[in-house]
Amino acid sequence: MTAKKPNSAGSGSPSAGEPLYLAVGSLRRSHGVRGEMVMEVITDFPERLKPNTKVFVGDSHQPMTLAGTRFHNEGLLVKFKNIDTPEDAARYRNQQVYVSAADRPKLPKGQYYYHELIGFDVVDEADHSIGILSAIMQTGANDVYVVTQSDGKEILLPVISSVVLDIATDRRLIRVRLIPGLLDESDL
């Protein structure tokens, strides 16, 4: 029941929780004299970034096509079609690179993209409502679900097998076990 980093840009989303674009990288600086750029990779699937892949750059989601990619010690070196000089490349410095969410790779059973889970109802083992999953935090050891209750209070639940029991995507429901001491009775 693991989730993958969403890397999503919520702008233009057709429905709650479904972004049109997913961020895959962040352009840092130009590299060399042929218009290449250093890109920090922020996707779990860098192998999909290959020549002739259509990407979208910046907040305006400008469509561009990758002419070439190669791994570099600082990330990925990318070359866009029609960007042939360091000056041309410099215009895109500090911009995000996106792919269409419709083109995202399918995940194995039991794995989800973060944005797919946001908005799910969270219930305990007896089906009592706890709240709505409003965010997912990455802590290093494990993710943490931020559950917002009807009164606006937030509960933090570690995403570990002893706490997250089941995710029913068809019902948009996450069933959890509340560990004694994790919450005060006043939190529920």
Mean pLDDT score across all residues of the chain:
85
Whether the pLDDT of residue 1 is over 70: the answer is no
Q: Is the model more confident about 69 or about 180?
A: 69
pTM: 0.62
Q: Which of 112, 115, 25 is nearest to 75 (CA)?
A: 25
Q: Phi and psi of 101, rounded to 5°?
A: -60, -30
* H-only helix segments in the chain: 86-90, 114-117
Q: CA quadruple 171, 100, 133, 125: dihedral positive or negative?
A: positive
Q: Give dist(CA 131, CA 143) in Å, integer.
A: 18
Can you give the pLDDT at residue 101?
Answer: 82
Can you give the pLDDT at residue 160?
Answer: 92
Give pLDDT tens digits for 130-173: 999 999 988 878 899 999 999 999 999 999 999 999 999 889 99
Can you give the pLDDT at residue 144?
Answer: 92
Can you give the pLDDT at residue 182?
Answer: 60
Can you give the pLDDT at residue 183?
Answer: 57
**Three-state DSSP state, 182:** coil
Whether the pLDDT of residue 85 is over 90: the answer is yes
Cβ pair 8, 26 in contact under 8 A: no
Whether the pLDDT of residue 72 is over 80: the answer is yes
Over residues 79-88, the mean pLDDT reads 96
Whether the pLDDT of residue 15 is over 50: the answer is no
Q: Is the model more confident about 170 or about 26?
A: 26
Domains in the chain, CATH or no CATH each: 2-103 (2.40.30.60), 119-187 (2.30.30.240)
Give pLDDT tens digits for 98-126: 998 887 777 778 778 788 899 999 999 99
Can you give the pLDDT at residue 16?
Answer: 52
β-strands 111-113, 2-4 pairing? parallel
